[in-house]
Amino acid sequence: MKNILIAGASALMLTTSCVGSLESNYNVDPKSPTTALASGFIANAERTLARTLVSTNVNLNPFRFYVQYWAATDYPTESRYDQNTRNIPNAYWSALYRDCIRDLREAKTTIPTDLTVPAANKTNALAVAEILEIYAWANLVETFGNIPYTDALDYNKAQPKYDDQATIYNDLISRLDVAIGKIDPTVATGLGANDLINNGSTALWLKFAYAMKLRMALVIADVDGAKAKTMAESTIGKLPASNADVIDLTFNGTFPNTNPLYEDLVRSARTDFAGTSYFINQLKGTTGPATGVVDPRLKQYFNPATNSSLPAGTFAGGTYGSTNSKTTNSLPGTKLRAQTLPGVIVSYAQVELMLAEGALRGWNVGAGTTAESHYNAGVTASITEPQWGGTAAEAAAYLAQPNVAFSTAPGTPIQRIAYQEWVALYNQPVEAWTSWRRLDYPVLTPPAAAVSGIPVRLLYPVVEQNINGSNYSQAASAIGGDKAETKLFWDKK
């Protein structure tokens, strides 16, 4: 559920306490706190996580390039998969380790003695911090492979060992089950408005946790189908059930707490990105599985080209991996530029399309439901998401087209779902990258000037090579080489 990012939320929020004795309290200055609030740590971790996942900053998040939504206008280096010129791996690694997981661990340490979290709410507040931490860890494993885990963030271990990626992932699944079991749905989290994602709603935190579990089940489905099936089936009836259940963070529009796309596309006055011809032509219905059908999301995702030599309303895409004109190609759409655009972590459309995939795998994903019914629900949810503003009528008309309908669209059933996931996850680029790596569709081709194949992982940060060299070398060898094309344990098909 959306919540407004409070500009004042920070790890320096003041604590309060009751006066218990002259010695212990009258000599304490309440305006000079010695203990930070747990809610401040959680708020900062949530803000960091959301911004990292949706950012357009190529120093941090190049994934709109990797799944070929966008091409560069002036600076094509990152669209050619050069990860190290801007040290992208280090920026991503640091954001999740230092600015997200570290703060969540501080929150866990602080919650038991934090007087602003009522005693009855402390267990739920701890579960919230744990769920967020699990999400961040899972993202790191899915991005890099083997990573420091058991030794991570321990100041006594300046050179932490790397743990096996599959072992970490299975431990995270176990931790998630424990966290879910600890949440009391009849009690609030005690975090209230300082919970920037779910506004302290335990009902939404449970839905988020179960959506994570479904998502993690699909990640491991090709390497442990039995476990994945059990996991997925345990989530049915407990997942986000409409666009009102989207798990996101809405920024308040006051810099620096604005939507990071606004910062990169509007506030900086830069025009660094255009849609790729590959993506835009598929949305236009010029090519691709939905040939002949204009996707109603086209006009939301992109703006028409502005060059006066082109007919008004022309949508055109640039050449992926090259520099491109800023006027003859379509730039990112107006709705992406809103200061308060939510940073989406889990969308309802994503959940429904994951359930469609589960149904294809033979999993029990709900009485009376089918892959087709979940496919239709996912596409409809994507088109009608509040951030895009499409209508149910547009969704129905789109789904009625033979090249879109689940039973008749080109390709295999799993390719039909994969295509719609690719389109629906446009503003969830990290999730889009993971979905594409899992399903290997649509078929993407690297540009001629690429320095590698399309990355299926980020390289390890250079700083790890320099200061943790022995452990880095062992980790690189264990995963099959520190290369962009090295597939991770779950991505073997």
C-alpha distances out from residue 478 to 213, 455, 459, Å: 27, 18, 14
Q: Quick check: bond before 33 cis, omega within 30?
A: no
> Do 150 and 167 touch, CB atoms closer than 8 A?
no
Instruction: Give residue 393's pLDDT.
Output: 98
Structure-block tokens of residue 358 = 């589960």
C-alpha distances out from residue 316 to 70, 287, 326, Å: 12, 13, 11
Instruction: Give residue 256's pLDDT.
Output: 85
Residue 54's pLDDT band (cuts 50, 70, 90) = very high
For residues 5-30, average pLDDT: 41
Mutual angle of helices 38-54 and 88-96, in 10-degree steps:
150
> Do 297 and 328 touch, CB atoms closer than 8 A?
no
Instruction: Give residue 36's pLDDT.
Output: 85
Position 140: which residue type? L
pLDDT digits (tens, 9 = 90+) for 107-162: 999 999 999 999 999 999 999 999 999 999 999 999 999 999 999 999 999 999 99
Instruction: Give residue 331's pLDDT.
Output: 98
Instruction: Give residue 125's pLDDT.
Output: 98
- 274-304 as b/e: b if 16+ CB within 10 A: bbbbbbbbbbbbeebbbeebebbbbbbbbbb
Does residue 15 surpass a pLDDT of 80?
no
Instruction: Give residue 33's pLDDT.
Output: 54
Instruction: Give residue 253's pLDDT.
Output: 83
Q: Closest Cα to residue 288, out of 71, 443, 70?
A: 443
pLDDT digits (tens, 9 = 90+) for 448-464: 999 999 999 999 999 99
Q: Closest Cα to residue 145, out of 377, 467, 460?
A: 460
Residue 254's pLDDT band (cuts 50, 70, 90) = confident
Mean pLDDT across the chain, nearest whole number? 93
Report d(CA 451, CA 468) in Å as an integer: 26
The whole model's pTM is what? Answer: 0.93
Residue 374's pLDDT band (cuts 50, 70, 90) = very high
For residues 396-402, average pLDDT: 98
Structure-block tokens of residue 124 = 């739920």
Does residue 22 surpass a pLDDT of 60?
no
> CB-based contacts of 357: which residues, under 8 Å, 6+ apart?
218, 371, 414, 417, 439
